[in-house]
A and B are shown apart, each in its own frame.
Chain A
Amino acid sequence: MSTAPDQPLVAGSTVPPTRRALSRLGLALIAAAGLGGCAMSPPQPWEKGNLARPEMTMGGDALDQRFVQHIYGSKEAASGGYGVGGGGCGCN
């Protein structure tokens, strides 16, 4: 057996070729990095009071996020993107 064919089985599903999707991703990443130039004014060490607030962390509440991402992973096809090292999902 090999990877999925490029022909859609039914109407309503789209299959952009993998290469195109990956280069779109790459462009998005470069664009995101390129935006680095505009209006960025990183704070001095004593100006980081607001960044130190718990609600400003990226992860947030660990148990909350894990549970919620786990539910979404079992109800939706997309999953992950937040970190590595997690176990496999039986949600195919």
Chain B
Amino acid sequence: MKTTPRSLLRLSALCLTMLAAPASWALDAGAPAPDLNLPGLKDAVTLAQLKGKVVYVDFWASWCGPCKQSFPFMNELQSKYGAQGLTVLAVNLDAKRADADKFLGEVPAQFTVAFDATGDSAKRFDVKGMPSSYVIGRDGKVAAVHKGFREQDRKDIESRIVEILGTP
């Protein structure tokens, strides 16, 4: 190709626009799940110790409205599929622990809860909205990503989890 000044200009313009483009890295299905090592209600909680199980990681906060509805759903999931190897892990992102405790007092959780006031785990999981949930397969890879929570999402999420539970 002839290296004319015009094509050089075009190339450099292209490079500049690529530099300017925001880093659009996202945590997609198929990628290995980032590790988690967070304080829980009693002991520390890590993803490593849950290897071999299907983990439903949900990022929530006391101020997020849909989270109030997602908790009863997650209680159901845990009781229905716990025996098959599902562990629900809800990571709280409140800056103040007191707010999280207040929420848990009103909306009981019969599943594992972890606390991350720094938001570091949310960054590594590329959380784009509240709440966000990630289903991690038995192989430790992200199998499904879901943003937000509405009553009509229940069926879809549940059937996806059943699918993933069936996969080795």
Determine whether A and B are in direct contact in the complex, meaning some CB atoms lie less than 8 angstroms apart. yes
Per DSSP, chain B at the interface is loop
Least CB separation from B130: chain A residue: A45
Check B119–A49 contact: CB distance below 8 A: no
Check B95–A44 contact: CB distance below 8 A: no
Confirm or deny: A48 has a beta carbon within 8 angstroms of a beta carbon on chain B. yes
Check A53–B63 contact: CB distance below 8 A: yes
Q: What total of chain B residues lie within 8 Å of the partner, measured CB to CB?
A: 17
A43 CB to closest chain B CB (Å) equals 10
Check A49–B95 contact: CB distance below 8 A: yes
Q: What total of chain A residues lie within 8 Å of the partner, measured CB to CB?
A: 8
Per DSSP, chain A at the interface is loop
Check B61–A49 contact: CB distance below 8 A: yes
- Bound CA–CA A45/B119 (angstroms): 10
Q: Give 4 A-B pairs besides A46-B119, A48-B63 with Cβ atoms closer than 8 angstroms.
A: A45-B130, A46-B61, A46-B122, A49-B63
Q: Measuring CB to CB, which residues of chain A are less than 8 angstroms from any residue of chain B? A: 44-49, 52-53
Q: Measuring CB to CB, which residues of chain B are less than 8 angstroms from any residue of chain A? A: 59, 61-64, 93-95, 99, 119, 122-123, 127-130, 132
